[in-house]
Copies of this chain bind each other. A is one copy, B any other.
Amino acid sequence: MPTLQLQQFLQSTGAISAVQAVEISASFSLRHLSRHDFLLQAGQVSDTYFFISRGLLRSFALDPDGTEVTTGLAGPGQVVFEVASFFNRTPSLEYIQALTDCEGWCLSYQQLNELFHARSEFREFGRGVLVRGFAALKARMLATITESASARYEHLLQAHPELLLHVPLKYIASYLGITDTSLSRIRKAGGKK
Protein backbone atom coordinates (compact mmCIF):
# COMPACT_ATOMS: atom_id res chain seq x y z
CA MET A 1 0.00 0.00 0.00
CA PRO A 2 1.33 3.43 -0.89
CA THR A 3 1.33 4.89 2.57
CA LEU A 4 4.43 6.98 1.92
CA GLN A 5 2.61 10.31 2.13
CA LEU A 6 0.99 9.21 5.35
CA GLN A 7 4.29 8.11 6.83
CA GLN A 8 5.90 11.40 5.93
CA PHE A 9 3.03 13.21 7.54
CA LEU A 10 3.40 11.18 10.71
CA GLN A 11 7.04 12.23 10.88
CA SER A 12 6.28 15.87 10.19
CA THR A 13 6.09 16.98 13.81
CA GLY A 14 9.39 15.33 14.70
CA ALA A 15 7.78 13.17 17.37
CA ILE A 16 7.63 9.97 15.32
CA SER A 17 10.57 8.10 13.77
CA ALA A 18 10.54 6.51 10.33
CA VAL A 19 10.24 3.03 11.79
CA GLN A 20 7.42 4.05 14.10
CA ALA A 21 5.69 5.78 11.19
CA VAL A 22 5.60 2.55 9.21
CA GLU A 23 4.10 0.68 12.15
CA ILE A 24 1.56 3.34 12.97
CA SER A 25 0.49 3.84 9.38
CA ALA A 26 -0.64 0.21 9.34
CA SER A 27 -3.52 1.15 11.63
CA PHE A 28 -5.02 3.54 9.09
CA SER A 29 -7.48 2.33 6.51
CA LEU A 30 -7.83 3.58 2.99
CA ARG A 31 -10.95 5.44 2.02
CA HIS A 32 -12.27 7.04 -1.12
CA LEU A 33 -14.76 9.84 -1.44
CA SER A 34 -16.57 10.93 -4.55
CA ARG A 35 -17.05 14.58 -5.35
CA HIS A 36 -19.88 16.03 -3.26
CA ASP A 37 -19.75 13.20 -0.74
CA PHE A 38 -19.90 14.29 2.87
CA LEU A 39 -17.23 13.15 5.28
CA LEU A 40 -19.32 14.73 8.02
CA GLN A 41 -22.72 16.34 8.29
CA ALA A 42 -23.97 18.73 10.96
CA GLY A 43 -25.62 16.83 13.78
CA GLN A 44 -23.33 13.82 13.43
CA VAL A 45 -20.41 13.12 15.74
CA SER A 46 -17.18 13.44 13.79
CA ASP A 47 -15.66 9.97 13.95
CA THR A 48 -13.16 10.02 11.11
CA TYR A 49 -9.67 11.40 11.44
CA PHE A 50 -8.95 11.74 7.73
CA PHE A 51 -5.54 12.25 6.17
CA ILE A 52 -5.92 13.44 2.57
CA SER A 53 -3.63 11.80 0.05
CA ARG A 54 -5.51 13.06 -3.01
CA GLY A 55 -8.27 15.59 -3.60
CA LEU A 56 -9.74 18.65 -1.94
CA LEU A 57 -12.25 19.01 0.88
CA ARG A 58 -14.21 21.92 2.24
CA SER A 59 -15.71 22.42 5.68
CA PHE A 60 -18.56 24.81 6.15
CA ALA A 61 -21.19 25.94 8.61
CA LEU A 62 -24.60 27.49 8.14
CA ASP A 63 -25.16 30.98 9.45
CA PRO A 64 -28.54 31.94 11.00
CA ASP A 65 -29.96 32.72 7.54
CA GLY A 66 -29.01 29.29 6.27
CA THR A 67 -26.16 30.62 4.17
CA GLU A 68 -23.14 28.38 3.84
CA VAL A 69 -19.91 29.81 5.23
CA THR A 70 -16.71 28.05 4.27
CA THR A 71 -14.67 27.52 7.42
CA GLY A 72 -11.83 25.50 5.97
CA LEU A 73 -10.23 24.23 2.80
CA ALA A 74 -7.84 21.30 2.78
CA GLY A 75 -5.82 19.27 0.32
CA PRO A 76 -3.20 16.50 0.19
CA GLY A 77 -0.95 16.33 3.22
CA GLN A 78 -3.54 17.72 5.61
CA VAL A 79 -5.89 16.06 8.06
CA VAL A 80 -9.53 16.98 8.29
CA PHE A 81 -11.94 16.32 11.13
CA GLU A 82 -14.08 18.52 13.36
CA VAL A 83 -11.93 18.92 16.45
CA ALA A 84 -14.57 19.73 19.04
CA SER A 85 -17.05 17.12 17.85
CA PHE A 86 -14.39 14.44 17.47
CA PHE A 87 -12.77 14.80 20.86
CA ASN A 88 -15.81 15.75 22.90
CA ARG A 89 -18.09 13.27 21.14
CA THR A 90 -20.68 15.96 20.56
CA PRO A 91 -22.77 16.67 17.45
CA SER A 92 -20.93 18.71 14.87
CA LEU A 93 -22.09 22.13 13.78
CA GLU A 94 -20.16 21.81 10.58
CA TYR A 95 -20.20 19.87 7.36
CA ILE A 96 -17.15 18.46 5.62
CA GLN A 97 -17.59 17.76 1.93
CA ALA A 98 -15.41 16.55 -0.92
CA LEU A 99 -14.85 19.17 -3.61
CA THR A 100 -13.24 16.61 -5.89
CA ASP A 101 -12.86 12.85 -5.79
CA CYS A 102 -10.64 12.14 -2.81
CA GLU A 103 -8.46 9.42 -1.42
CA GLY A 104 -7.07 9.30 2.08
CA TRP A 105 -6.27 7.33 5.19
CA CYS A 106 -8.43 7.33 8.25
CA LEU A 107 -8.78 6.33 11.87
CA SER A 108 -11.92 6.17 13.97
CA TYR A 109 -12.05 7.87 17.35
CA GLN A 110 -11.62 4.52 19.03
CA GLN A 111 -8.64 3.56 16.91
CA LEU A 112 -7.00 6.90 17.50
CA ASN A 113 -7.50 6.61 21.23
CA GLU A 114 -6.05 3.13 21.29
CA LEU A 115 -2.99 4.42 19.51
CA PHE A 116 -2.77 7.32 21.95
CA HIS A 117 -2.75 4.89 24.85
CA ALA A 118 -0.32 2.50 23.27
CA ARG A 119 2.18 4.95 21.87
CA SER A 120 3.39 8.07 23.60
CA GLU A 121 5.06 9.30 20.41
CA PHE A 122 1.70 9.24 18.67
CA ARG A 123 0.24 11.25 21.51
CA GLU A 124 2.93 13.84 20.96
CA PHE A 125 2.17 13.82 17.28
CA GLY A 126 -1.52 14.27 17.93
CA ARG A 127 -0.81 17.27 20.08
CA GLY A 128 1.47 18.65 17.41
CA VAL A 129 -1.31 18.45 14.84
CA LEU A 130 -3.69 20.27 17.16
CA VAL A 131 -1.13 22.96 17.94
CA ARG A 132 -0.37 23.44 14.27
CA GLY A 133 -4.04 23.82 13.45
CA PHE A 134 -4.52 26.24 16.30
CA ALA A 135 -1.63 28.41 15.16
CA ALA A 136 -2.88 28.41 11.59
CA LEU A 137 -6.32 29.54 12.71
CA LYS A 138 -4.83 32.30 14.83
CA ALA A 139 -2.83 33.52 11.88
CA ARG A 140 -5.93 33.50 9.73
CA MET A 141 -7.87 35.41 12.35
CA LEU A 142 -5.13 38.02 12.60
CA ALA A 143 -5.00 38.38 8.82
CA THR A 144 -8.76 38.84 8.71
CA ILE A 145 -8.42 41.75 11.09
CA THR A 146 -5.31 43.41 9.76
CA GLU A 147 -5.39 42.79 6.01
CA SER A 148 -7.72 43.92 3.26
CA ALA A 149 -9.83 41.38 1.44
CA SER A 150 -7.69 41.67 -1.66
CA ALA A 151 -4.48 41.08 0.31
CA ARG A 152 -6.01 38.00 1.93
CA TYR A 153 -7.00 36.74 -1.50
CA GLU A 154 -3.52 37.28 -2.92
CA HIS A 155 -1.95 35.44 -0.03
CA LEU A 156 -4.32 32.53 -0.37
CA LEU A 157 -3.49 32.31 -4.05
CA GLN A 158 0.23 32.35 -3.43
CA ALA A 159 -0.05 29.70 -0.74
CA HIS A 160 -2.57 27.47 -2.49
CA PRO A 161 -2.88 28.21 -6.20
CA GLU A 162 -4.32 24.75 -6.76
CA LEU A 163 -7.51 25.80 -5.00
CA LEU A 164 -8.56 28.05 -7.83
CA LEU A 165 -8.78 25.12 -10.18
CA HIS A 166 -11.42 23.23 -8.27
CA VAL A 167 -13.03 25.52 -5.74
CA PRO A 168 -15.96 27.68 -6.85
CA LEU A 169 -15.44 31.35 -6.27
CA LYS A 170 -18.22 31.67 -3.77
CA TYR A 171 -16.62 29.13 -1.45
CA ILE A 172 -13.34 30.98 -1.50
CA ALA A 173 -15.17 34.24 -0.97
CA SER A 174 -16.92 33.11 2.20
CA TYR A 175 -13.66 31.60 3.43
CA LEU A 176 -12.10 35.04 3.02
CA GLY A 177 -15.06 36.66 4.74
CA ILE A 178 -16.45 38.50 1.73
CA THR A 179 -19.17 37.97 -0.88
CA ASP A 180 -18.61 36.36 -4.22
CA THR A 181 -19.46 39.68 -5.86
CA SER A 182 -16.66 41.44 -4.05
CA LEU A 183 -14.19 38.70 -4.81
CA SER A 184 -15.06 38.93 -8.48
CA ARG A 185 -14.29 42.64 -8.40
CA ILE A 186 -11.06 42.05 -6.53
CA ARG A 187 -9.96 39.62 -9.18
CA LYS A 188 -10.86 42.08 -11.89
CA ALA A 189 -8.77 44.75 -10.20
CA GLY A 190 -5.97 42.23 -10.57
CA GLY A 191 -2.47 42.54 -9.20
CA LYS A 192 -2.64 46.24 -8.44
CA LYS A 193 -3.46 46.19 -4.80
CB < 8 Å neighbour of A144 from B87, B141, B146: B141
Pick out which of these stretches binds chain B: A48-56, A123-131, A183-191.
A123-131
Q: Kindly state whether residue A83 has any CB partner on chain B within 8 Å.
A: yes
Within 8 A of B (CB), among A103-149: 123, 127-128, 130-135, 137-138, 140-142, 144-146
Residues of B within 8 A of A69 (CB): 142, 145-146
Per-residue 0/1 for A161-176: is the Cβ within 8 Å of any B Cβ (1 yes, 0 no)? Answer: 0000000000000100
CA distance A91 to B82 in the complex (A): 28
Query: Contact: A145 with B177, CB < 8 Å?
Result: yes
Among B128, B145, B174, which residue has its beta carbon within 8 angstroms of that of A174? B145
Contact B177 A127 (CB under 8 A): no
A135 and chain B: residue at smallest CB distance: B84
Q: Is the CB of A134 within 8 A of B84?
A: yes
A71 to B88, CA, bound (A): 25
Q: Would you call A23 an interface residue if the criterion is a C-beta within 8 Å of the partner chain's C-beta atoms? A: no
Count A-side interface residues using an 8 Å CB cutoff. 29
Nearest to A141 among chain B residues (CB) is B141
Which of chain A's residues 49-69 have a Cβ closer than 8 Å to chain B? 61, 63-64, 67, 69
Residues of B contacting A71 in the complex (Cβ-Cβ under 8 angstroms): 138, 141-142
Knowing A123-B123, A127-B127, say if A83 contacts B134 (CB, 8 Å).
yes
A135 touches B83 (CB 8 A): yes
Q: How far is the CA of A193 from the CA of B167 in the complex (A)?
A: 34
- Do the beta carbons of A61 and B142 come within 8 Å of each other? yes
In the complex, 5 of the A-B residue pairs with CB atoms within 8 angstroms, ordered by the A residue number, are A88-B128, A127-B127, A137-B138, A141-B144, A145-B177
5 closest pairs, A vs B, by CB?
A: A84-B135, A145-B177, A63-B146, A87-B131, A83-B134
Excluding A63-B146, A130-B134, 11 further A-B contacts by CB distance (< 8 Å) are A69-B146, A71-B141, A71-B142, A84-B138, A87-B131, A88-B128, A88-B131, A137-B137, A144-B177, A145-B174, A145-B177
